[in-house]
């Protein structure tokens, strides 16, 4: 996937450690405020913590909920499982790209830093576009909704989407954000504990699948592996064309999403180079193997028709078919719900750090507020912002097939961002070899595959599907149009923030980022007046 370059010159990327907001036509006035962002070694994340941080983001609702949509789109057991293998390979491709950037630019914030490095002009445009995507669409709504639905399924067998499930989802998101804001150490500890728990649950499903293959089921053999690569078309699955396959891939991308999670918190990693290069590949490789085996388990016990119509609850139906209606099986969906909670904790932890980075840079209104670590040396304000967007998106859609819509809406804009990041890295490899000398280098074929996949996923959702244009309960073009519109909103904000508003006020508050002699990051806010 890539290679280390031990001869790299650290000065080539040293500038990545310091980013200063400047303005060639500005005069710097008095300092408005200064805040130091430093974390003790007891708060920093080691290899084990980084593995579970990635695992908790990757193993969320996806593997317990999206296999239904993927089989529904393909109409083939073999093709569905093969797509999960492809998904793991593509996650490794993306990881190689992010490793190159993360080790060259070792700052929290992930792709925000990478886009800024590549697309320097117009200044701040890339950051504003990413800010719009992360703030408005970087939510935990899908995972929170799945948490609520699995709790209700365990309680009374309720399988339909409802506002009761969403109310429980609100409580889930609120708990996760509050824990990280006021008890940050316990938040990280719970992430680690639930990371172990998730792996145990997934392994339990895998071994239960082996038992189902051996005939230990409470239902007849579904015989899903006979002619497994035959593509079938019925009223409930198959026959969706290229649009359906792109939707299936988006669901798989969503399920694997999280391989980049450690890049968002680079400043909080112990020995970032060693931690990232060990933790990320271990987590991604392990998850890929588990995902493929879990899908084999589902098909070993659940008939095709049930899988296609199960929506979020495919894991719950699997438990019922393997273990029957015993009292013990009622508890198993709760275990899946706890796995969803772990994902909400991991997502809120990482995305709040990215929101905080946007605040540190002065990119947001009330930047000092969003960028603050007060009152508990944790980004409470940024966590509140993540919580607010999550709750709005969770409650806004009417009851129905909301989960798949939330998955697509969450995932789709990210493929545009991934495309620009990987396309930018191709440009660095071929046109900036003299200045871009990272310690880890992604191989060009891997880079090209990742770039082309994201181009495919960005374009194909605009192609009309075969059959009903409203098969998912909403017009097929809604989520790609909304996704692109949010990115364009970022461009509009950039114009207002960098051109119109400074012209109206005559000055702006900008953030100056420095690294002091102890290696701690310090942000100073200054008033900049137009010359």
Strand, coil or helix: 531: coil
Say yes or no to pLDDT of 8 above 70: no
Rg over alpha carbons for the chain, rounded to the nearest Å, is: 23
Q: Tell me which residue of 59, 83, 56, 71 sits closest to 290, measured CA to CA.
A: 59
CA angle 304, 310, 311 (to 5 degrees): 125
User: What pLDDT, on a 0 to 100 scale, did the predictor assign at position 375?
Assistant: 81
For the stretch 468-523, pLDDT in tens is: 666 566 787 888 999 999 999 999 998 988 888 888 877 766 666 666 554 555 55
Residue 219, pLDDT score: 87
Between 32 and 173, the higher pLDDT residue: 173
Per-residue pLDDT tens digits for 370-397 = 888 878 888 889 999 999 999 998 888 7
pLDDT at 16 over 50: no
- pLDDT of the residue at 1: 63
| Cis peptide leading into residue 122 (ω within 30°) | yes
> pLDDT over 70 for what percent of the chain?
84
pLDDT score recorded for residue 209? 92
Q: How many CA atoms lie within 13 A of 417 on its CB side?
A: 31
For 455, the token pair is: 């181009």
Residue 84 has pLDDT above 90, yes or no: yes
Query: What is the predicted pLDDT for the residue at 29?
Result: 39
Q: What is the pLDDT of residue 526?
A: 63
26-30, 385-389, 465-469, range with the lowest pLDDT: 26-30
> What does the alpha-carbon distance between residue 112 and residue 134 come to, in Å, rounded to a whole number?
10
Q: How confident is the model at residue 32 (pLDDT cuts 50, 70, 90)?
A: very low
Give the model's confidence band at 27: pLDDT under 50 very low, under 70 low, under 90 confident, else very high: very low
**Where is mean pLDDT largest: 20-24, 29-33, 431-435?**
431-435
pLDDT, tens digit (0-9, with 9 covering 90-100), for 315-359: 888 888 888 877 556 777 888 888 889 889 888 887 888 788 778
Closest Cα to residue 261, out of 29, 54, 520, 10? 54
| Of residues 58 and 400, more confidently modeled | 58
Amino acid 529: pLDDT: 74
Determine the 3-state secondary structure of 82 from DSSP.
Answer: helix
Percent of the chain scored above 90 by pLDDT? 24
Neighbours of 149 (CB within 10 A): 31
The pLDDT assigned to 191 comes to: 81
Higher pLDDT, 476 or 256: 256
DSSP codes joined into one string, 457-502: HHHGGGSPPSS-TTTTSS-TTHHHHHHHHHHHHHHHHHHIIIIIHH
φ, ψ of residue 211 in degrees (nearest 5): -65, -40
Average pLDDT, stretch 266-291?
Answer: 86
Write out pLDDT tens, residues 36-51: 445 555 557 788 888 8
- Predicted local confidence at residue 523, as pLDDT: 54
Q: Whole-model pTM?
A: 0.78
- Residue 416 has a pLDDT of 93
Q: Would you state the pLDDT for residue 520?
A: 53
List Cα–Cα distances, 204 to 13, 64, 170, 296, in angstroms: 45, 13, 28, 13
The distance of Cα 274 from the centroid of its chain, to the nearest Å, equals: 23
Contact 477, 470 (CB under 8 A): no
pLDDT at 525: 52
Q: Which pLDDT tens digit goes with each residue over 129-170?
A: 988 988 888 888 888 988 998 898 888 777 677 788 899 999
Q: Is the pLDDT of residue 21 over 50?
A: no
Residue 363's pLDDT band (cuts 50, 70, 90): confident
CB-CB contact of 191 with 343 (8 Å): no
Q: What is the mean pLDDT of residues 425-439?
A: 87
> What does pLDDT average to over the chain?
81
SS3 5: coil
pLDDT exceeds cutoff 60 at 22: no
Sequence-ordered list of residues with C-beta below 8 angstroms from that of 1, at least 6 positions apart, any chain:
92, 93, 95, 96, 442, 443, 446
CA-to-CA distance for 483 and 473, rounded, in angstroms? 18
Contacts of 217 (CB under 8 A, 6+ apart): 301, 321, 322
Give the ranges where 496-524 is alpha helix by DSSP (H). Answer: 501-505
Q: What is the mean pLDDT of residues 357-375?
A: 79
For residue 295, the model assigns a pLDDT of: 94
- How confident is residue 203, by pLDDT bands cut at 50, 70 and 90? very high
Q: How far apart are CA 62 and CA 72, in angstroms?
A: 15
Return the pLDDT at 81.
93
CA dist., res. 459 & res. 495, Å (int): 26
Could you tell me which of 420, 359, 419, 413 has the C-alpha nearest to residue 386?
A: 359
2/17 Cα distance (integer angstroms): 23
């Amino acid at each position: 996937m890539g290679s280390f370059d031990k001869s790299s010159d650290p000065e080539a990327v040293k500038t990545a450690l310091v980013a200063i907001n400047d303005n060639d036509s500005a005069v710097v006035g008095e300092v408005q405020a200064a805040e130091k962002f430093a974390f003790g070694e007891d708060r920093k994340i080691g290899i084990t913590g980084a593995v579970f941080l990635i695992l908790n983001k990757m193993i969320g609702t996806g593997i317990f909920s999206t296999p239904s949509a993927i089989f529904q789109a393909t109409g083939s057991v073999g093709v569905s499982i093969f797509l999960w293998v492809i998904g793991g390979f593509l996650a490794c491709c993306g990881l190689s790209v992010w490793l190159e950037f993360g080790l060259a630019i070792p700052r929290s914030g992930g792709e925000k830093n990478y886009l800024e490095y590549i697309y320097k002009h117009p200044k701040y445009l890339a950051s504003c576009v990413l800010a719009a995507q992360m703030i408005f669409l970087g939510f935990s709504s899908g995972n929170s909704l799945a948490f609520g639905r699995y709790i209700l399924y365990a309680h009374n067998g309720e399988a339909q989407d409802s506002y009761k499930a969403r109310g429980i989802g609100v409580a889930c998101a609120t708990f996760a954000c509050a824990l990280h804001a006021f008890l940050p150490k316990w938040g990280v500890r719970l992430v680690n504990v639930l990371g172990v728990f998730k792996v145990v649950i997934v392994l339990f499903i895998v071994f239960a699948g082996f038992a189902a293959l051996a005939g230990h089921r409470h239902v007849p053999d579904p015989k899903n592996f006979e002619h497994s690569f035959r593509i079938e078309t019925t009223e409930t699955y198959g026959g969706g064309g290229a649009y359906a396959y792109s939707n299936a891939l988006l669901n798989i991308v969503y399920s694997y999403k999280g391989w980049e999670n450690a890049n968002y918190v680079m400043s909080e990693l112990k020995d970032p180079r060693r931690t990232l290069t060990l933790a990320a590949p271990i987590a991604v490789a392990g998850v890929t193997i588990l995902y493929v085996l879990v899908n084999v388990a589902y098909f070993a016990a659940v008939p095709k028709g049930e899988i296609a119509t199960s929506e979020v609850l495919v894991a719950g139906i699997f438990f019922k078919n393997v273990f029957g209606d015993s009292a013990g099986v009622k508890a198993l969906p709760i275990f899946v719900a706890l796995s969803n909670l772990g994902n909400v904790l991991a997502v809120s932890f990482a995305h709040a750090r990215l929101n905080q980075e946007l605040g540190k840079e002065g990119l947001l209104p009330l930047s000092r507020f969003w960028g603050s670590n007060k009152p508990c040396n944790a980004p409470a304000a940024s966590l509140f912002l993540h919580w607010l967007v999550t709750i709005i998106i969770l409650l806004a859609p009417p009851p129905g097939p909301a989960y798949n819509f939330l998955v697509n809406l969450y995932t789709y804009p990210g493929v545009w961002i991934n495309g620009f990041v990987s396309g930018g890295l191709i440009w660095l490899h071929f046109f900036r070899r003299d200045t871009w000398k990272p310690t880890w280098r992604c191989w060009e074929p891997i880079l090209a595959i990742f770039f082309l996949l994201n181009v495919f996923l960005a374009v194909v959702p605009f192609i009309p599907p075969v059959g009903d244009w409203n098969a998912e309960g909403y017009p097929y073009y809604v989520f790609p149009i909304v996704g692109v519109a949010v990115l364009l909103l970022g461009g509009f904000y950039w114009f207002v923030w960098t051109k119109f508003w400074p012209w109206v006020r005559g000055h702006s508050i900008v953030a100056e980022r420095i690294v002091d002699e102890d290696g701690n990051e310090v942000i100073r806010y200054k008033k900049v007046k137009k010359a």
